[in-house]
Amino acid sequence: MTVHTDLAKTKINKEIYGHFAEHLGHCIYGGIYVGEDSQIPNVKGFREDVVGALLDMKIPLLRWPGGCFADTYHWKDGIGPRQQRPSMVNIHWGGVTEDNSFGTHEFLDFCKLIKAEPYINLNVGSGTVQEASEWVEYVTSKNISPMTDLRKKNGQEEPWNVKFWGIGNENWGCGGNMTPEYYADLYNRFASYCGGNLYRIAGGPNVDDYNWMDVLMKKTTRHRHLVQGVSLHSYTFTTSWEDKGSATDFDESGWFADLKNTLKMETLIQEHSKIMDKYDPEKKIGLIVDEWGNWFNVEPGTNPGFLYQQNTLRDALVAGINLNLFNNHADRVAMANIAQAVNVLQSVILTKEDEMVLTPTYYVFKMYSVHQDATLIPTDLKCENYEFNGKSIPAVNASASTKDGVVSVTFCNLNPNKKESIDLTLAGQEFKSASGQIITSKNMNDCNDFGKDEIVKINSFEVKKPKNGKLSIDLPAKSVVLIQLK
Ligand code: AHR
């Protein structure tokens, strides 16, 4: 592998390390927010342990309130005195009653506590242009108006600084079952009235729906100032949508299939980028992968509508691979948000009453935080294949960046049976020392669990000194490794 430090130029936005929190299962209630009267230690109702863990992981951005929930959400129900807020039925996620005790103020207070940029998703599916534009005004306006008066009455004198606004979610599906032509026209209409210096994100395609991307780009870029980003949703399934397999109970065929499917993200980014290049050759419009990650069957005995799943070393590899791919395409991928932050799908945190578990995925985000706002270094990687049952995939996946004179290279060894030896050539810069960190474990389905010792976490990793611009590294089987060079 050659690391071309002399060719580094593209910024890896910290927002690529973003997260997503929906009103779904126990992501918000129980996971993030327990209310001020809870026995669980909290600051203004927000779990202290979760706040501390997210700060340590350096969470840069949080998307809210959905997901499918966003296109059912009426923001005015979630402001003002809590006991006067109306409730609603969460039609997509378990049909539970949502009491709206976590609303705009709570979300923005939480973002302030965890030092993350907020990203709010507006309701296009069941909302109106007026409702959306009033939400933007309520949150961001400095002027005197009924909306800003209402905000002040609710205790927030100054506007919040919210730059990222999504206009609808999955409008090809739960967000209104629209055609791309119809949605693109609606997007232009909503975006016209959600003004100001905002970063507006259009609801983009599902996986490889290239026609959706083409129609959306064609119609929205006619009014170029109205669109700053287009979303892409793509989850990883080991088998099929109907039977997604178990998060923990799998053998090598489940390991191989999951990693092979994860690598498809590269093709998706390349193909969607080609379409975006036709309408935006200067790459000004960001590809926003605002939902990604492993989606398995729910844990036995849990509510099927709550999407609660455990998280193993396999998830660590899936996170590491995806983040390397996003880094390597940072010229187009401006933001990405793993689904979801706490207790839902591929979470970084699981909670059970007052207990908290940090998952293998958490440790990957913590390890990879060195890439946030760093400059991408192009790399050439030639490696052998990992073969299983007559199929093969590249055994190693990597990305590199530089920040403050330190070069960081992250590797994933996808092979669960064999170490991979890497000869690193460091072009363009002299290095005197190298250090390393590793995430691995004895078994591919090892996970961290409540009441048990933590087994999948970051450990230090011995690396030799670089000599004459070369460094040899042995990546242990099924591992995620960070090498830093100075
Ligand atoms: O993350 C769970 C759901 O997956 C989201 O609500 C939706 O946007 C997607 O289909």
* Atom from ligand 1 closest to the CA of residue 69: 6
> In terms of domains, do 200 and 127 share one?
yes
- Give the residue whose CA is nearest to atom 3 of ligand 1: 67
**pLDDT 10s digits, 37-63:** 999 999 999 999 999 999 999 999 999
Is residue 8 included in any domain, yes or no?
Answer: no
pTM above 0.90, yes or no: yes
What's the total number of domains in the chain? 2
Main-chain dihedrals φ then ψ at residue 63, nearest 5 degrees: -95, 140
Same domain for 192 and 333? Answer: yes
Tell me how crowded residue 190 is: count the other CB atoms within 10 A of its CB. 23
Q: What is the pLDDT of residue 315?
A: 98
Q: Structure tokens of 438? A: 């590793």
Q: 292 CA to middle of ligand 1, Å?
A: 9
Same domain assignment for residues 167 and 79: yes
Could you report the per-residue pLDDT of 176-198, keeping only the tens digit for each? 999 999 999 999 999 999 988 99
410, 323 in Cβ contact below 8 A? Answer: yes
User: Can you tell me the mean pLDDT for 235-244?
Assistant: 94
- Ligand 1 pocket: which of 19, 20, 22, 98 to mutate (most atoms <8 Å of CB)? 22
Same-domain status, 350 and 427: no
Residue 383: the pLDDT is 96
Q: Which of 335, 353, 373 is the last residue of a domain?
A: 373
- Closest residue CA from atom 8 of ligand 1: 67
Instruction: Write the CATH number for 398.
Output: 2.60.40.1180
Check whether residue 100 and residue 190 sit in a common domain. yes
Looking at residue 195, its pLDDT comes to 82
Q: Are residues 473 and 349 in the same domain?
A: no
Q: Is residue 156 part of a domain?
A: yes
Judge whether 429 lies within some domain.
yes
Contacts from 153-162 at CB under 8 Å and sequence distance 24+?
A: 154/79, 154/80, 154/105, 155/105, 156/105, 160/108, 160/118, 162/108, 162/118, 162/119, 162/120
Residue 5 included in any domain: no
Burial label, 485 (beta-carbon count in 10 A; 0-12, 13-18, 19+): buried
Q: Does 137 map to a domain? A: yes
Chain length of the chain: 486
Last residue of a domain, one of 340, 373, 406: 373
Residue nearest to atom 2 of ligand 1 (CA): 67
Mutate to test the pocket of ligand 1, among 122, 174, 232 (most ligand atoms within 8 A of CB): 174
pLDDT at residue number 196: 83
pLDDT for residue 30: 98
Ligand 1 atom nearest to CA at 340: 1
% of the chain surpassing 70 pLDDT:
100
Separation of CA 28 and ligand 1 centre (Å): 15
Which residue has the least CA distance to atom 4 on ligand 1?
67
- Whether 7 is in a domain gets the answer no
Residues 6 or more apart whose CB falls under 8 angstroms from that of 478 comprise 255, 313, 317, 413, 414, 415, 416, 440, 441, 444
Ligand 1 centroid, distance to 226 Cα (angstroms): 25
pLDDT tens per residue, range 381-390: 999 999 999 9
Q: Which CATH number do you get for residue 81?
A: 3.20.20.80
Domain-located, residue 66: yes
Q: What is the pLDDT of residues 62-88, one digit of tens each?
A: 999 999 999 999 999 999 999 999 999
- End-of-domain residue from the set 373, 405, 434: 373
Residue bearing the CA closest to ligand 1, atom 5: 67
Residue 152 lies in a domain: yes
pLDDT tens, position by position, 110-141: 999 999 999 999 999 999 999 999 999 999 99
| Together in a domain, 257 and 369 | yes
Lookup: tokens for 113 = 């506590």
Instruction: Please report the pLDDT score of residue 429 as a whole number.
Output: 80
What is the pLDDT at residue 427? 84
Q: Are residues 369 and 385 in the same domain?
A: no
Q: Cβ < 6 Å from ligand 1: which residues?
A: 22, 66-68, 169-170, 291, 339-340, 345
Residue 455 CA, ligand 1 centroid: distance in Å:
30
Between the CA of 339 and the centroid of ligand 1 the distance, in Å, is 8
CA distance linking residue 344 with residue 20, whole number of Å? 10
Q: Examine the domain organization and report whether 275 and 419 are in the same domain.
A: no
Query: Ligand 1 centre and the CA of 340: distance in Å?
Result: 9
Mark whether 207 and 242 lie in a shared domain: yes
Q: Residue 430 has what pLDDT?
A: 85
**179 and 274 together in one domain:** yes
Q: Are residues 321 and 188 both part of a single domain?
A: yes
Mean pLDDT for 257-282 is 98
Residue 427's identity, in one-letter code, is A
Domain membership of residue 137 as a residue range: 13-373
> To test the ligand 1 pocket, which listed residue (288, 291, 342, 345) has its Cβ within 8 A of the most ligand atoms?
291
Active site residues: 170, 291
